[in-house]
Amino acid sequence: MNIKLTHAGKRFSREWIFRNLSYEFLPGIQYAITGPNGSGKSTLLQAIAGFSVVNEGSIEWLLNSKNIQPEETHAYISIAAPYLELIEEMTAKEFLLFHINFKKFIQNLSAEAILEEADLANAAHKQIRFFSSGMKQRLKLAQAFFSDVPVVLLDEPCTNLDASGYALYYKWIENHSAGRLIIISSNDENEYRFCNNRVNIRDYKMGKPVNA
């Protein structure tokens, strides 16, 4: 999927979060959205996902020469972010089985196989509310990486992960990025060190247009 922003701008009240942003994200490439905390990286990622409407300019989603409408983007995009909550009354297995109702998993992987991949097999039948923050993050990343979609959006993907969690993250990036558009929003270079294409949101504040 191609995602093209043309002179896009987003504001809250009188404050512009980003403005005059023209950029095209291409399939098979890994991108990073960078900037300090509070600079608007997450807001931009939500606009790219179609979850938030821009105030000016436009965003286009194109898949196999077909224009995807904003209300349809959810079927083609998976996202893991700190502000997206898990259903904590469910067990890990129940959560993944529920997720399958909306998006299939790559290679028709089973919930059990995905939990094994995430080193969560022993917690398959434990309610998510009893998970540690690191376990919850592994589960969020698993549903994002293993969903059968062309676009994966990751907002601060290594939040609460220990060294083994980082290793798992890098493994999934290496093994499950081919042909997909990957966009990572972060101010920690360890989370996007492999991205050769970077968008610094500070370059798109009001009064400072930059050609992408």
Q: Tell me, what's the pLDDT at 14?
A: 84
Q: What are phi and psi of 52, to 5 degrees?
A: -135, 135
Please give the average per-residue pLDDT across 183-208, as a whole number: 91
For 141-155, what is each residue's pLDDT tens digit?
999 999 999 999 999
3-class DSSP state of 95: helix
Burial 178-201 (b: 16+ CB within 10 A, else e): eebbbbbbbbeeebbeebeeebeb
* Number of domains comprising the chain: 1
Structural domain contains residue 54: yes
For 34-67, what is each residue's pLDDT tens digit?
999 989 999 999 999 999 999 999 999 999 989 9
In the chain, the percentage of residues whose pLDDT exceeds 90 is 93
Structural domain contains residue 27: yes
Contacts of 127 (CB under 8 A, 6+ apart): 88, 89, 90, 91
- pLDDT(99) > 50: yes
The Cα–Cα gap between 137 and 11 comes to 29
- pLDDT(13) > 50: yes
Structural domain contains residue 41: yes
Q: Tell me, what's the pLDDT at 77?
A: 97
Instruction: Return the biggest CA–CA distance within the chain.
Output: 53
Instruction: Provide the token pair at 168.
Output: 């798992």
3-class DSSP state of 212: coil
- pLDDT(114) > 50: yes
Structural domain contains residue 148: yes
Structural domain contains residue 184: yes
The Cα–Cα gap between 126 and 53 comes to 37
Q: Tell me, what's the pLDDT at 136?
A: 98
Q: Tell me, what's the pLDDT at 211?
A: 44
- pLDDT(88) > 90: yes
- Edge to edge, the sheet with strand 181-185 lists 77-80, 151-155, 181-185, 30-34, 197-200
- Which residue matches tokens 């399939």? 27
pLDDT band at 204 (very low <50, low <70, confident <90, very high): very high
Q: How far apart are the first and last CA of the chain?
A: 19
Structural domain contains residue 212: no
Structural domain contains residue 109: yes
The Cα–Cα gap between 148 and 78 comes to 9
Structural domain contains residue 34: yes
The Cα–Cα gap between 79 and 69 comes to 18
- pLDDT(161) > 60: yes
User: Which residue range is the domain that position 100 belongs to?
Assistant: 2-204
For residue 162, what is the domain's CATH number? 3.40.50.300
The Cα–Cα gap between 76 and 113 comes to 22
